[in-house]
Amino acid sequence: MYHPRVENEIITLGIETSCDETAASILKGRFEILSSVVASQNEIHSIYGGVVPELACRKHCEIIRSIAHESLDKADVVLNDLDLVAVTRGPGLVGALLVGLSYAKALAWGMKIPLVGVNHLEGHVMSAFLAQPRIPLPNLSLLVSGGHTELFIMNELGKLEWIGGTRDDAAGEAYDKVAKMLGLGYPGGPEVDRMSRSGSATIKVPAAMMNSSDLDFSFSGPKTAVKHIIEDYKNKGLSLPVEDICASFQASVVRALINKTLFAIEKTNPASISLSGGVAANGALREAFLRLGEELGLPAIIPKLELCQDNAAMIASAGANRYLSNPKDKAWLDFLEMDPKSSWIPNGD
Ligand code: KG4
Ligand code: ZN
């Protein structure tokens, strides 16, 4: 029979393999990170300009065990100390998810401890709370990553109600595609961000859906605008002002994100706001988001830079939070049939 420790002492192993990062983390309670190890596969995929699923899966298989053990060693924790395993169940690449899920199931089964299948997006949202757990609720959360641009309202920690999202490209995806058009590396977001710093936003890149009355985004418009701008310069035989194009594209994306967040605040009247996901590492977006909170007198939280990208600390935190909200639920021990979910938007569940 399993006997969990007191709530703020439970030790969770988090596992994340939804895309191209193999990550493991040890967490104490809901928010105290004892270790967080992330092995990025950027080098493998950069020559293809995007993630190659088969290569991602193979790499996860190769290193998952050593990454998990590295996280245990760094936290000075042994397998017997674990109370819980939390693993990303979706959304993501099915093959990649299966690697982490299978490893986590085997470990939890062998150690006779509970397992929580975590929604990756819920993990991202929790990454903001890892820095400041005591922020007042309801929280309006803007999640901006390579695969998602979503707005959620959260009345209870970890319970996300979807209120809007992108109709086409995610913001990070648009960043990556713009970087590719400009011949910058993969992933493109950090490169476009870096280039923007020495450019000025003097080229017109329209921000889409600024005046629509819903809470949806669109980023294929700004991306296509950049395509036309590049073609125009090339047709005229002019050299590309790469820094200015990056700054102009970035200004358009940030304007759209902040504008819709403001709109969502007016609609939902939250007590705080949070930003998360890979694009939350963007300097201009971080600044604009914090300024928005300040102007409205709303506490605004943003994850530390290392917790913006995919990591397992956020998965452990979301898993521990779910588990601790109902530790006696038998579902945590009945996980052998749990399957990966390639698409899965949390909506109040
Ligand atoms: O959350 P994440 O690590 O993976 C997904 O779940 O998608 O996000 C990765 C995305 C990529 O599209 C990457 O280009 C973008 O985040 N990104 C950035 C920056 N750093 C990463 N985008 C804009 N500015 C950045 N500094
Ligand atoms: Zn992610």
Report how far residue 250's alpha carbon sits from residue 253's, in angstroms, rounded to the nearest whole number. 5
Q: What is the CATH number of domain 7-125+308-332?
A: 3.30.420.40
Sketch the domain layout of the chain as residue ranges. 7-125+308-332, 137-298
Specify the CATH architecture of the domain 137-298.
Answer: 2-Layer Sandwich (3.30)
Closest ligand 1 atom to 188 CA: 14
Structure tokens at 138: 């309801």
Ligand nearest 307 Cα, by number?
1
Q: Residues near ligand 1 with C-beta < 6 Å?
A: 19, 145-147, 172-173, 175-176, 187-190, 193, 277-279, 281-282, 309-310
What one-character DSSP code corresponds to residue 166? B
Which one of the ligands is nearest to 41 CA?
A: 1
What is residue 42's predicted lDDT score, i.e. its pLDDT? 85
Q: Which residues surround ligand 2, an ion (CB under 5 A)?
A: 145, 310
What one-character-per-residue DSSP string does 151-172 give?
EEEEEETTEEEEEEEBSSS-HH
CB atoms within 10 A of CB 126: 32
pLDDT, one tens digit per residue, over 237-296 is: 999 999 999 999 999 999 999 999 999 999 999 999 999 999 999 999 999 999 999 999
CB atoms < 10 A from the CB of 302, how many? 24
- Read off the pLDDT of residues 219-228 as tens digits, 9 standing for 90 and up: 999 999 999 9
Q: Assess whether the region 7-125+308-332 and the region 137-298 belong to the same CATH fold.
A: yes
The one-character DSSP state at 79 is G
pLDDT tens for 140-172 read: 999 999 999 999 999 999 999 999 999 999 999
Q: How many CB atoms lie within 10 A of CB 141?
A: 30
Q: What is the Å distance from ligand 1's center to 6 Cα?
A: 36
* CA–CA distance, 274 with 139 (Å, rounded to integer): 7
* Residue-level pLDDT at 4: 55
Given the CA of residue 21, which atom of ligand 1 is nearest to it?
Answer: 3
Contact 129, 307 (CB under 8 A): no
Q: Please classify residue 327 by burial: count the beta carbons closer than 10 Å to its beta carbon, then call 0-12 exposed, 13-18 middle and 19+ buried.
A: middle
Q: Find the helix packing angle between 94-111 and 53-75, rounded to 10°.
A: 30
Q: Which pLDDT does position 1 carry in this prediction?
A: 40
Pocket mutation for ligand 1, best pick of 309, 314, 343, 344 (most atoms within 8 Å of C-beta): 309
In the predicted model, residues of the chain with pLDDT beneath 70 are 1-6
Give the alpha-carbon dihedral of 25, 28, 31, 33, to 10 degrees.
-40
Atom 11, ligand 1: which residue's CA is nearest?
146
Which one of the ligands is nearest to 38 CA? 1
